[in-house]
Amino acid sequence: MLAGALPRAQRLLLARTPSTGPSSPSGRARACPCRAAHAASAAMAATAPPSAEVVEISSNKQFGGFNRRFRHRSAVLGCDMTFTIYYPPAAEQAGAKVPLLYFLSGLTCNDENFIQKSGAQRQAAARGVALVAPDTSPRGLGVEGEAESWDFGVGAGFYVNATQEKWAAWRMYDYVVEELAALLRSAPCGAALDPDRGPELPALLRSAPCGATLDPDRASVFGHSMGGHGALVVGLRNPQKYRSISAFSPICNPSNVPWGIKALTGGRGGVDGAEGYDHSYYFISTFVDEHINFHADALAA
């Protein structure tokens, strides 16, 4: 159901009762010629092996909780990937299982942009919600042309599965929906690489797996621009996985805008609306608390 879009911001907010419907194995709107390969990729991602260790590479305390950045080897994408989780203070309590809110970033971003610029941690701490920010594409694969343009290739995964052989590793839909969620459930977490920061973390947050204090069964998703498109794609295709969806200035009709046309024709064969605001994190930080509250209410239902 449509749950009251925020005034003057042109942002879609959707909430639902968790269902048990089937999950789509890929983010495609039409039949994919690589159907078997993508089905195998999704199955592999959903059963991430315990040996796929997640290594913490940094941690910073904020609003009583911790931003923790991790690195792991992605079986789906074939490269090392990073993601950042903000653990609210509630995650430090014995027996804690806090809900998750995934944020999917826009073009050129990585997992740190939202964490460093949005200020979302303040309200996430107050509402006891963990924030999970993945990267936006595979990196370092050496595919010809992957870094030639800011809106195609590296930093531009669009949270869908590529169907062109050259870009076969660009399977960000499978990575976000299946592999990352599986890692949070089961993968062991290695020791922090910075020994000066590791001891600051409460014992519960140093435990394995890295998702030990998270509740993946209570998850929601939101995003910005390309990530707003991603939130709509993964959320609407997987109602059994995400309880609510929202988006800042999403690319809602990618086949009819320059960024989307380039991505769809290359890898796969919105208007801001808030008066006076641009497409930047100044805009996001202004309204992010309202999004956090919207999702926190849905996750508590």
Structure tokens at 73: 């080897």
Is the pLDDT at 118 greater than 90? The verdict is yes
Chain segment 181-205, per-residue pLDDT in tens: 999 987 666 544 444 555 555 665 5
Closest CA to 230 of 254, 208, 210, 209: 254
Write down the pLDDT at residue 203: 60
Domains along the chain with CATH numbers: 34-300 (3.40.50.1820)
Q: How far is CA 277 from CA 7, 166, 233, 271, in A?
A: 13, 38, 25, 11
Closest CA to 251 of 275, 269, 274, 230: 230
The rounded mean pLDDT for the chain is 76
Residue 158 CB contacts under 8 Å (≥ 6 apart), including other chains: 172, 226, 229, 230, 254, 260, 263, 267
Write down the pLDDT at residue 138: 87
Cis peptide bond N-terminal to 258, omega within 30: no
Closest CA to 242 of 272, 269, 222: 222
CB atoms within 10 A of CB 60: 16
At 243, give phi and psi (nearest 5°). -80, -25
Is the pLDDT at 4 greater than 50? The verdict is no
